[in-house]
Amino acid sequence: MKDLIAKHVASVRTVIDANLDLQERLASLSLCVVHDREDDLFTLTIGEPQEAVTESVRNRLYFRVDPDTLKIVGIEIPHVSARLNDDPLLEGFLRRFLPLAGPEQTPAIEAARELRELVKA
C-alpha cells in the first residue's frame, strides 16, 4: 500500500510541476464554472473543453489533466455540500466561485491566485 501511495504522490507532484505556469495561462483563458446541484458536483473548465484524464488530490479535489502535456484543464469537486462544511481550503475556494456558476464564462485572471493555492496544497 505504501508503494501505491508513493506512486500517487509522485504522479500528483509531476502534474503540479508541469503547471508552474498556471497563473500565466489563466491570465489569457476563460473559465466555465458549473455547480450541478443534483449531483452535488462543482466543475471548473479552464479554456475550451477538451478530453482529459483525472488525477485525484486528497480524494476531494480532482484535476482534469491533458494527458499529453499534463497541463491542468479543469477541476472537479464532488460532494460540494460536504466540502463546504469539512474542508476549509476547499470551502474558501467554493464560496468564492459557486456564485459564478452558470453558463457564462468568467475571466480567468480572477481565479488565478486561488487555483495556484489549490495546486500548492
Domains of the chain, residue spans: 2-120
Position 42 scores a pLDDT of 92
84-106: per-residue pLDDT in tens? 999 988 888 888 888 877 654 44
Is the sign of the CA dihedral 16, 65, 74, 76 positive or negative?
A: negative
Mean of the pLDDT values across residues 66-77?
95
Of 121, 105, 101, nearest in space to 46 by CA: 105
Q: For strand 105-107 and strand 53-57, is the pairing parallel, antiparallel, or unpaired?
A: unpaired
Mean of the pLDDT values across residues 114-119?
62
Position 105 scores a pLDDT of 46
Confidence of residue 109 (pLDDT cuts 50, 70, 90): very low
Mean of the pLDDT values across residues 18-42?
87
Return the percentage of the chain with pLDDT > 70, whole number. 83
Confidence of residue 23 (pLDDT cuts 50, 70, 90): confident
